[in-house]
Amino acid sequence: MSASWQRKLADGRVVVIDGGTGSELRRRGFRLSDDAWSGLASASHEHLLAEIHADFIRAGAEIITANTFGTTRFLLESAGYGSEFRAINERAVRAAFEARDATGADVAIAGSISCMPPGLDTGAYPDPVTEAAAYVELAELLAELGVDLLLLEMMEDDEHSGRACEAAAAVGLPWWLGLSCRFGRDGDSLVGFDFFDLPVEVPLQALLKHEPAVVAVMHTPPDAVGLALEVVQENWKGPAGAYPVLDENGTDKTAKPPIPAPGTLASLAGDWIEAGARVLGGCCGATPDHIRALRDVAHQHSGKRP
């Protein structure tokens, strides 16, 4: 188990995490699904998954994220794989451990938990009791399988995300609140990424009550990260970070800005460090090259410290 990320954050240093595992699977030929996103890759493409994790580690990631963003029981059931819930999650975590062993690097392994609804349809959630039980089941299984921490990803409302964060907080591992937002219709205030009528302060303040170790602005467009970090820091005094969405294809059918080059991302990340971010990484669209560029930014920051 690696706890060096906690020591680094306590020292005010910058921790680098990985990029988009799902988008990297897609870039390397795996077809993502609306039912379980990248979740089924753990069943059919475990070796490819381990390769991707290893590439992120070699690029400088100090935390890698197991491919469990889309593996709650209700998602796997909607994809026809409900009976393989345990096996698919075991394989996802195993692929991350394989990559750590293959590289010999001192990296932490995170389990991802999201509130992705079946078919990306927010009307398709199971009833609240079943939904909450699914987050508890996944959080407990990930802890049992030996992950070092939990990343709660695409938290963007108070209702569904509240159930997931409560489940994560109950297992006793450190967990990160991954807040996902973007500019709303007015163009100058932030809303939940898929919740255009919900100011981002609403989920943020509700979810902070579950006491995360880190609040990371994630799956948020790069142009919204600076303001999102400000909003986070107005509400939260602990470590904050950013791992933005670089490629909105597949998650947003309307807005498709070009994917920033690694150097462009690194330049933005320098600003985010100045604004207080102490975790850097990438979400959808972030490749090992992006993570390499972020590692260099983090090293520069460490070098500048007295």
Q: How far is the CB of 119 from Zn ion (least distance, A)?
A: 18
Q: How far is the CB of 43 from Zn ion (least distance, A)?
A: 21
Which are the contacts of 109, defined by CB distance < 8 A and separation ≥ 6? 2, 63, 64, 66, 93, 96, 97, 100, 146, 147, 148
The piece of 78-86, 100-108, 268-276, 279-287 that touches Zn ion (CB under 5 A) is: 279-287
Report the DSSP beta bridge partners of residue 242.
217, 280
Q: How far is the CB of 219 from Zn ion (least distance, A)?
A: 4
Q: How far is the CB of 216 from Zn ion (least distance, A)?
A: 12
Which are the contacts of 172, defined by CB distance < 8 A and separation ≥ 6? 143
Q: With respect to Zn ion, which residue has the nearer C-beta, 280 or 283?
A: 283
Q: With respect to Zn ion, which residue has the nearer C-beta, 143 or 293?
A: 293
Distance, in Å, from the CA atom of 270 to the CA atom of 163, rounded to the nearest integer, reads: 34
Nearest to 222 by CA among 304, 160, 165, 294: 294
Q: How far is the CB of 284 from Zn ion (least distance, A)?
A: 3
Q: Does residue 283 touch Zn ion according to CB under 5 A? A: yes
Binding residues among 175-214 for Zn ion as defined by CB under 5 A = none
Q: With respect to Zn ion, which residue has the nearer C-beta, 109 or 283?
A: 283
Q: Does residue 273 touch Zn ion according to CB under 5 A? A: no
Nearest to 249 by CA among 40, 87, 20: 20
List helix spans (H) across the chain: 4-10, 21-27, 41-44, 46-59, 73-78, 85-103, 128-144, 159-170, 201-208, 222-235, 262-274, 288-304
Q: How far is the CB of 278 from Zn ion (least distance, A)?
A: 20
Q: With respect to Zn ion, which residue has the nearer C-beta, 171 or 259?
A: 259
Residues 176, 215: contact at Cβ < 8 Å? yes
Binding Zn ion (rule: CB under 5 A), the pick from 8, 73, 100, 219 is 219
Binding residues among 233-262 for Zn ion as defined by CB under 5 A = 245
Q: Does residue 284 touch Zn ion according to CB under 5 A? A: yes
Q: With respect to Zn ion, which residue has the nearer C-beta, 245 or 273?
A: 245
- For residue 128 the two structure tokens come to 């609240």
Distance, in Å, from the CA atom of 96 to the CA atom of 217, rounded to the nearest integer, reads: 23
Which are the contacts of 293, defined by CB distance < 8 A and separation ≥ 6? 262, 263, 265, 266, 269
Q: How far is the CB of 251 from Zn ion (least distance, A)?
A: 6
Q: Does residue 26 touch Zn ion according to CB under 5 A? A: no
Q: With respect to Zn ion, which residue has the nearer C-beta, 164 or 245?
A: 245
The piece of 113-121, 162-170, 207-215, 216-224 that touches Zn ion (CB under 5 A) is: 216-224
Residues 83, 76: contact at Cβ < 8 Å? no
HSE, side-chain direction, 13 A CA sphere, residue 171:
28
Q: Does residue 278 touch Zn ion according to CB under 5 A? A: no
Q: Give the torsion sign (CA, 176, 190, 38, 158).
A: positive
Q: With respect to Zn ion, which residue has the nearer C-beta, 79 or 283?
A: 283
Binding footprint of Zn ion, residue count (CB under 5 A): 4
Q: How far is the CB of 300 from Zn ion (least distance, A)?
A: 26
Q: With respect to Zn ion, which residue has the nearer C-beta, 250 or 276?
A: 250
Site residues for Zn ion per CB under 5 A: 219, 245, 283-284
